Chains A and B, each alone.
Chain A
Amino acid sequence: MFIPMAVAIAEARVGKRGERIYSSRVPQLLERGFIAFKSSTYMMVLSGFIEPVLYLLSFGYGIGTLLPTIEVGNETIKYAAFIAPALLATSAMNGAIYDSTMNVFFKLNHDRIYQGMLSTSMGPLDVALGEIGWALIRGFAYACTFMAVIAPLGLVVSAWGLLAIPAAVLIAFGFASCGMAITSYMKSFQQLEIVNIILLPMFLFSGSFYPVSVFPVWLQNIVNLLPLTHAVNLIRGLCLGHINLALAGHAMYFIVMIIGGLFFTTKRLNALFMK
């Protein structure tokens, strides 16, 4: 009997873990990302990189004339060196959130791209991982370029700073999987705006521009729960070479975000397209 190739490929996955929601097609989805990327506007690509650099110039060097150094623990460092890691963390967050909210919302509700994907032999976990995987590749590229700017400026004090790049990817992973989970529950564009409204206070209060120790204790306690605070502390710790167990804690925070985000995204995609 003649068995079409697509069927043989699908049958080969029978009995594998999660066969009903996952068909190991992430590479194919990344391939889609690259094809779409080839014809995208380079202005858009460049813009993701330009934002942290502008902040660095304005705050690092502009504010730096008013506030040349800052005290971290018992060490005095250049203000620019203090905020550069925070800007890397913030741009990892912003990129991941943009890719997993606006982008995903349009594909979900307007283009119906996921519907098409899920009528093939793929499953919802493929789609979720593929989408997030693409966000991570972009995040990785942005992190590398930003490091290539700040390292020659002497803003990365320690060799541990190299680890800031994988750390930025980890952070992007956490935000992207949660962002996608949240987006999959959103009904309208206005609801999506809420995400942006939450991002602003997070950006302003996560210790990007000065140590959170200037806040009263109650506010510090709240701020210490925010994901961006952990992101900033993780990358700053690596760039400044302040290596301690707390860094592992920050990383853990993002691993939990990743697992939780993926769980809800898959569950929700299942409900949206498979119910």
Chain B
Amino acid sequence: MSNPLISARGLTKKFGDFTAVNGIDFDVFKGESFGFLGPNGAGKSTAMRIIGATAQRTSGTISILGKDPELHGPQIRAHLGVVPQQDNLDMHLTVSENLYIYGRYFGLPRKFVKGKVDELLAFAQLEEKRDTKVEALSGGMKRRLTIARALVSEPEILILDEPTTGLDPQARHILWDRLFRLKEQGVTLLITTHFMDEAEQLCDRLIVMDKGSIMAEGSPASLIKDYSTKEVLELRFGSDRNQAVADSLRAMCDRIEELPDRVLMYTENGEALLEKIYAADFHPKTSLVRRSSLEDVFLRLTGRTLIE
């Protein structure tokens, strides 16, 4: 493999006594889609801000395109397209003005940016909203505009902090489609998310983070293979009985997790297990067999769910 675009060793960020990022190591290579999966407060956004050259690390090393972000902030940011967790569009301007002026902030010539704006409006499917004030856009449109804006400088690396949080399912799928196309064009994607389906859809490789540390690293498929079984059986016995029943079911599967509202049983064959349970005279109120997901990986690693 070639040299990594981004390489971090022992990366640490403290805010007073609180350690947001606790000595993490990772490498991101050109053209891949790299994910940070973890619950709120895991340190994902902080890590992204350090990579975005807008936050200083407390210790450790990081190099982005061979440079230290603390010494070469402007030069590194010139390579990056940043999509923050909360949209920070310029509310006083229209859609096209937002794209235009952002390009100008990179020092790009007027003529170049003007041409770019049309291209980006088409990409974000916002041609009809060209002269609309940003305030009047829907959440999904604002998000698409923020992503389009991040592309105005033709960045090599696109940093997306929770790109689809707060969007409805349809808007999410449109966004995912746009991100795929960028990846096809060779843009390196860095994505944080607390949605397992998003991580599975978008990421070639990801790190699972919790409380500032990396819990595991790998492709979505390999993580599921390493840390979970093929299928999961979800059972609900009623909030007062889950615990008691779980204790008696424990011997019937590889692993069992009790959540406040349901019991998760890890197995290679969910349907067969369910039959066995009925045969043993247990009668869950509801039952569901599904494939293992990254959510299960996270539960296994931390004992907690991703979205609490």
Contacts and interface: CB of A to CB of B under 8 A. Distances in A.
Contact of A6 (B72, B89, B106): B106
Given A273-B54, A274-B54, A5 B105 contact: no
Contacts of A32: 90, 93, 101, 104
Query: Which applies to chain B's interface (DSSP): helix, strand, loop or mixed?
Result: loop
Given A10-B78, A20-B71, A274-B73, A5 B92 contact: no
From A11, A35, A121, residue with most partner B Cβ within 10 Å? A121
Given A11-B75, A274-B73, A116 B89 contact: yes
B101 A31 contact: yes
A115 B155 CA distance: 18
Contact of A28 (B55, B77, B84, B107): B107
A4 B56 contact: no
Interface string B73-105: 111011110101010111111100100111011
A187 interface: no
A36 B79 CA distance: 27
Contact of B54 (A35, A39, A118): A118
Contacts of B133: 39
A121 B94 CA distance: 22
A9 B154 CA distance: 13
Interface in A12-29: 13-14, 19-20, 23-25, 28-29
Contacts of A119: 52, 54, 77, 80, 82, 84
A11 B107 CA distance: 11
B71 A35 contact: no
Interface string A108-135: 0001110111111111000000000000
Contacts of B93: 32, 35-36, 39
Contacts of B72: 14, 20
A275 B105 CA distance: 21
A7 interface: yes
B102 A116 contact: yes
A36 B104 CA distance: 14
Given A25-B105, A32-B101, A7 B75 contact: yes
Contact of A111 (B80, B88, B109): B88
Interface in B160-200: none
Given A11-B75, A13-B74, A122-B74, A6 B54 contact: no
Interface residues of B, number: 40
A4 B79 contact: yes
B78 A9 contact: yes
B56 A19 contact: no
Contacts, number: 121
B108 interface: yes
Nearest to B13: A275
B156 interface: yes
B90 A5 contact: no
Contacts of A35: 93, 97, 100-101
B229 interface: no
Interface in A181-204: none
A11 to B, nearest CB: 6
A111 B106 CA distance: 20
Given A25-B105, A116-B102, A6 B88 contact: no
B153 interface: yes
A19 B90 contact: no
Nearest to A7: B78
B282 interface: no
A25 B104 CA distance: 8
Contact of B108 (A6, A40, A111, A275): A6
Contact of A9 (B80, B107, B156): B107
Contacts of A6: 78-79, 106-108, 153-155
A93 to B, nearest CB: 24
B177 to A, nearest CB: 24
Nearest to A28: B104
B153 A5 contact: yes
Given A6-B153, A274-B55, A123 B74 contact: yes
Contacts of B91: 111, 113
Nearest to B91: A111
B74 A10 contact: yes
A123 B73 contact: yes
Contact of A31 (B52, B73, B89, B104): B104
B54 A4 contact: no
B284 to A, nearest CB: 47
A121 B78 contact: yes
Contact of A113 (B56, B86, B90, B97): B90
**9 smallest A-B Cβ distances: which pairs?**
A10-B78, A6-B153, A112-B88, A119-B82, A120-B105, A121-B78, A116-B88, A9-B107, A6-B106
Given A10-B107, A39-B93, 4 more contacts: A9-B78, A25-B107, A36-B90, A115-B88
Interface of A: 4-7, 9-11, 13-14, 19-20, 23-25, 28-29, 31-32, 35-36, 39-40, 111-113, 115-123, 273-275
